[in-house]
Structure 1
Amino acid sequence: MTASLPPILLIEDTPSLQLLYRAALTKAGYAVITAGTAAEGLELLREATSQVILLDLVLPDRDGLDLMREMLQLRPGLHVVVMTAHGSINKAVEAMRAGAHEFLVKPFDEARLLNVVSNAYKTTSAKPARAKSPPPAPPQPVALATSSSATGDFIGSSEAMAAIHATIVSVARSMATVFITGESGTGKELCALAVHGNSPRANGPFIALNCGAIPQDLLESEVFGHMKGSFTGAISDKPGAATAADGGTLFLDEVCEMAPALQTKLLRFLQTSTVVPVGATRPRKVNVRIVCATNRDPMDAVRRGQFREDLFYRLFVVPIHMPPLRERGDDVIEIAETALARFAQEEGKQFDGLSPEVRALFRRLPWPGNVRQVLNVIRNVAVLHDGGVLTSAMLPASLPQQAQETLIAQRPAFPSDAPTQTDPVALDSLLGRPLAEIERMVIEATLASHKGSVPKAARVLELSPSTLYRKIEAWTKR
């Protein structure tokens, strides 16, 4: 059966791995042609009739991602399977978005390789040639969160992250609902993107909706849509997030903040796969995979009666917990150095890594804002300094010393059940700082004391959750 198939083009620069993969494929009956460089691979592609490419993303003469894009332009019907030795979901998702159909994380076994290749040939023969450029994404409802893969969010070789990578690869191909938990800033949305990007729905839409940032009276319309005239201000029909995600993935962030009435409708949606927009009488069938996330303890929300137990068990099929940065060892150094290189390139500057003093400080800091906080600190350095080795003198003044940060992170900020007292040490650390900087320190400390829960911090600070989300988003973009 495999003898009549076009040969597989294997582009791998490590001779031993090239030999190993070729032997396994040949033993299974596939014809294989091999290349050790990007230039050689491109030349063979022009000469051969290959439909399936096994492509190492790290090549000696060119970036594998750039090579893949050129190959897809030359032959839009190709089925490219990318291979990476680093288990980088961040890189794999980028490749999937650029046109790859699957990826393999080294080391992988022979059975996995043959299964991927078999599926590649089946998919290639069953579908029309791909367009040179992806079709435009369907219009998204107003107030949907923008999906982004910020530099460094999914970088790290710690044991905890390796386990998450393996879980994502295992669950992505199924239709199972994924429930992601973790503190604010740990990369929950990027985890959801990775699940989507490695699934058969990778070419479909990824729609992210933050349930905590939208007023409750508008949330039903945002999820399920509405008909013209169904309420004041509904001047036209509007598709909801569930309809916009048809054929793809719907990511419900901060799902535990959803109003009880809407939880009932979400449960019905999960049971029937039908959408009834506000003001409509006829349901519409949609094909959507659900991934949800929260920075709260979902079981605690169930015990308190804030989240339906039947909905929880319907959603909590495959749990993934994103660990806080303080539990990821030297990942903080990897993240900081990767972010520094990327931001320096964006700013047109040259930095030479972190000084030993900064490395030691970064390992000690508790990072209550997790990866997001690290990115903000590195972005600040890249913008305000000219380059060289990153020293402690370059760090923003708002980054507290380890002892002070630990003290703030471990105690409640302005406890409501006791009179507010002024700590002279803490007050001294605030004197001379701009008011906006002090506000940010207070908000970050309050978030840390409530384990990253924006709604809880908002109640303590007497602000709306949407106001806090806007402030956090503004800090992230700076």
Structure 2
Amino acid sequence: MSKDKLQQGLTGRERGMAGGAAGGVARPLPLVLAVGGTQEDWLLPDEVFAEAGCRLLRAHGSDQARESCTAHPPDLVFMPLVIEGRPATGQLRKCLAREPRPVVVVLASNDQIDIAAEAMRLGAHDCLFRPFSRARLARTIHGALKQHRRKHQRSQSALPNDPQCSRHAAPAGLRDPLALPDPQTAVDSLSLARRGFVTASGAMQALLQRARAVARSDAPVFISGETGSGKSWLAQIVHELSPRSARPLVTLTCAGLTPETVDAAFLGPGGALVRAAGGTLHLDELADLSPAVQPRVLHLLERPGPGAGGDGIRVIASTTPDPAVSDPAAMAQTGGLRPDLYYRLHVAPIEVPPLRARDGDAVRIARRRLTMCSEAEGRGFTGFSDSALSMIAGYDWPGNLRELINVVRSVVLLNRGPLVTPDLLPAELRAGAAPRPGPPFSATRRSGAAGVSAGRMRADGLIGMTLAEVERAVIEATIDAESGSLPRAARVLGVSPSTLYRKRNTWSKAGS
């Protein structure tokens, strides 16, 4: 690539200089190198970088990228995880080894989670998962520029005892927010893959987006979800993305607290507030707090002192809601939680969807966990048979992630592989996933708050029902006919399980 061609990307505004005060010395705008092909050109439009105040230089392929880096050392690099059909981790290592080190953002697809996790471990600043919006790209550029400016300022900073430096220093024990990855950092690659959880479902992508949005705030987070759905894992994710991630995440189980032990649990030697100072306190199963303990817990969370003053703490509460209670706020109205404690902690709510509502995730996680467990135990498992995968996909997983992980681990410990076949799976899983004869096609139709029972459905029985009522009747009848299995009912109806889950959740909240 000739020097003239390289200069083609540095014309007009992109070759501009950032002017200072009158008479000051102008400095060049940050230079961004975008590596890739036609797809990356379309995903990374020139105008978004120009609006962010950057010069943009493009390189198609590894050779052009190396030549570009030599001729025009970039400040920021946007590169795909796969270049010319091969993983680009080697190119990423070389890029991060350059001096001065550029801020690197990698581009990935949902099936490249493991490579994305490796890229983040190597030092990539952020990961953009295709497809992404222009607004998402703009936020990522902004975060990368902040990181670049911080590195530049640090390299030219005054001595550590300079009052200009200490005045803006982060509180002791906290990481400077500018030193953290952008809040859109690919937690769905780094933390998921590292723990053996992989996802491509819309329900989980929405959850992760919400987790990213609240991560940097110190506002309390209120996590709800079924037993085993991953509430503790999500608490870890939020903590790891927060400015407090360098300090401890302390989990306190609420069920065993009594009026006699609560003070020691929070304030005694090794108490939760003491250990979590500057970090995050996770109150696990908040709804299990006895009514006699709740006033004291509220007082301890609001008092100044160790863990509550100074650097403070970030509080995350999690709970498994009562299936009979459709709205978490009802816990504060039915006596499960004191209203003042509930509203003190219910600031940033996140609901973890059950595994049955995460389209295809059971199979993805099972495969990933099988690899991890097989390697850890020295077994020779290579995968699942198609029939075993069908059973995993068709099972409701009432115990959610915890049940799935235990099943995979048990299979690995008790067998030698190389293939997981249906006979190696637990009997209850085989029975629960197999098609079973159901009752006649029937449904329960509700009209208003009262609810009217509709028997066996016939065409004439649908007359007088609204379209929404017909839809609900058909869905409920199909679920009933499939012995309560949402995944099997979804296959019969030709929709995704998450669609049925969302509809039933909406009906429950509406109280209709």
Instruction: Please tell me the TM-score bracket, short chain as reference.
Output: 0.5 to 0.7
Letter in 1 for 2:150: A
Judged with a 3 Å threshold, the aligned counterparts in structure 2 of structure 1 residues 287 and 276 are, in CA distance, closer, same or farther, namely closer
2:313 alignment counterpart: 288
The superposition leaves residues 363-399 of structure 1 with CA deviations (integer Å, 9 ceiling, x where unpaired) of 3323222112111222233344443332112225675
- Report matched runs for 1:123-202 at 5 Å: 123-126=147-150, 128=154, 154-199=197-242, 201=243
Q: What SS does the corresponding residue of 2:418 show, helix, strand or coil?
A: strand
Match of 1:249 in 2: 280
SS at match of 2:315: strand
Instruction: Determine which of 43, 46, 49 is the counterpart of 1:23.
Output: 46
Structure 1, residues 65-108: CA drift from partner, whole Å, max 9, x if none? Answer: x8767765666965444443229999878866765554433322
**Distance between the aligned counterparts of 2:47 and 2:297, measured in 1?**
47
Q: 2:262·2:297 contact (CA, 8 Å) conserved in 1?
A: no
Task: Tell whether 2:334 aligns with 1:309.
Answer: no
Percentage identity across aligned positions? Answer: 32
Residue 292 (structure 1) shift? 1.8
Counterpart secondary structure, 1:320: strand
In 2, the alpha carbon distance for the partners of 1:403 and 1:70 equals 49
Aligned partner of 2:360 in structure 1 is 330
| Corresponding residue number in structure 2 for 1:468 | none
CA–CA distance in structure 2, aligned partners of residues 315 and 91 of structure 1: 37
Q: For residues 153 and 105 of structure 1, what CA distance do their matches in structure 2 show?
A: 19
1:427 aligns to what?
none
Larger RCO, structure (CA 8 Å, separation 6 or more) = 1
Q: 1:79 to 1:270 in 2, by over 3 A?
A: farther
2: CA distance, partners of 1:96 / 1:67: 14
**Deviation, structure 1 residue 221:** 3.6
- 1:151/1:326 CA distance change after superposition, 3 Å: farther
For residues 294 and 111 of structure 2, the distance between their equivalents in structure 1, rounded to whole angstroms, comes to: 36
Q: Hey, what's the Cα distance between the residues in 2 that align with 1:206 and 1:92?
A: 26
Distance 1:149 1:363, change over 3 A: closer
Equivalent pair of 2:81/2:116 in contact (CA under 8 Å): no
1:209 positional shift: 0.6
- Summarize the Cα distance change of 1:75–1:241 in structure 2 as closer, same or farther, 3 Å threshold: farther
Q: Give a deviation string over 1:22-44, Cα, whole Å, max 9, x none.
A: 52454334123455667976886
* Residues 1:10 and 1:258: Cα distance change in structure 2 (over 3 Å): farther
In 2, Cα distance between the equivalents of 1:399 and 1:242? 42
Q: In the aligned structure 2, how far is the partner of 1:83 from the partner of 1:339?
A: 25
Counting only pairs closer than 5 Å after superposition, residues 80-99 of structure 1 correspond to structure 2 as 80-86=104-110, 99=123
Task: Say if 2:298 is the partner of 1:267.
Answer: yes
Q: Residues of 1 paired with 2:420 and 2:108: CA distance?
A: 29
* 8 Å CA contact 1:193, 1:206 repeated in 2: no
How far did 1:309 drift?
A: 0.8
Relative distance call for 1:151 and 1:285 in structure 2 (3 A) is closer
Compared CA separation, residues 342 and 255, structure 1 to 2 (3 A):
same
Kindly state the Cα deviation for residue 319 of structure 1 after the two structures are TM-superposed.
1.8
Contact 1:24 1:110 in 2 (8 A): no
In structure 2, the partner of 1:118 is: 142
Is contact 2:223–2:231 with CA below 8 Å preserved after alignment?
yes
2:139 matches 1:109: no
Quote the offset at 1:324 in angstroms.
1.7
Between the aligned partners of 1:330 and 1:150, the Cα distance in structure 2 is 16
Give CA deviations for 1:269-289 in whole Å, capped at 9, x if unaligned: 6556x3347xxxxx7422333
Mapped partners of 1:94, 1:176: distance in 2: 31
Contact 2:236 2:249 in 1 (8 A): no
Query: Cα deviations across residues 251-277 of structure 1 (Å, max 9, x unaligned)?
Result: 3221223355654455346556x3347
Q: Hey, what's the Cα distance between the residues in 2 that align with 1:202 and 1:304?
A: 35
Larger Rg computed on CA atoms = 2
For the 8 Å contact 2:388–2:422, the answer to whether it is kept is yes
SS of 1:163's equivalent in the other structure is helix
Report the CA distance between 1:347 and its aligned residue: 4.3
- The aligned length equals 369
* Secondary structure at the counterpart of residue 32 of structure 1: strand
Query: What displacement does 1:184 show?
Result: 1.7
Q: Which residue of 2 aligns with 1:395?
A: 425
Q: 2:370–2:412: 8 Å Cα contact kept in structure 1?
A: yes
Q: Do 2:255 and 2:288's aligned partners in 1 also have CA atoms closer than 8 Å?
A: no
Give how far 1:247 is off: 4.5
Q: What is the rounded CA distance, in whole Å, between the counterparts of 1:258 and 1:47 in structure 2?
A: 63
1:210 aligns with 2:247: no
Distance 2:67 2:255 in 1: 51
Deviation at 1:187, TM superposition (A): 1.1
> In the alignment, is the contact (CA less than 8 A) between 1:354 and 1:391 conserved in 2?
yes
Matched, 1:4 2:28: yes
RMSD (Å), alpha carbons: 4.2
Following superposition, the deviation at residue 46 of structure 1 comes to 7.4
- Is contact 1:151–1:339 with CA below 8 Å preserved after alignment? no
Is the Cα contact below 8 Å between 1:39 and 1:61 reproduced in 2? no
Task: Tell me which residue corresponds to 1:258.
Answer: 289
* Cα shift readout 1:147-200 (whole Å, capped 9, x = no counterpart): x9686764233332232233223333444322111112111122223333444x
Name the CA distance, whole Å, in 2 between partners of 1:262 and 1:339. 39
Q: What SS class does the counterpart of residue 44 from structure 2 fall into? A: helix
User: What is the deviation of 1:327?
Assistant: 2.8
Deviations 1:279-317 (A, max 9, x none): xxxx74223332221113454543453422112112112
Q: Aligned in 2, Cα 1:35/1:327: closer, same or farther, shift over 3 Å?
A: same
SS at match of 1:275: coil
> TM-score normalized by structure 1?
0.63
Cα 1:172–1:215 shift into 2, 3 Å: closer
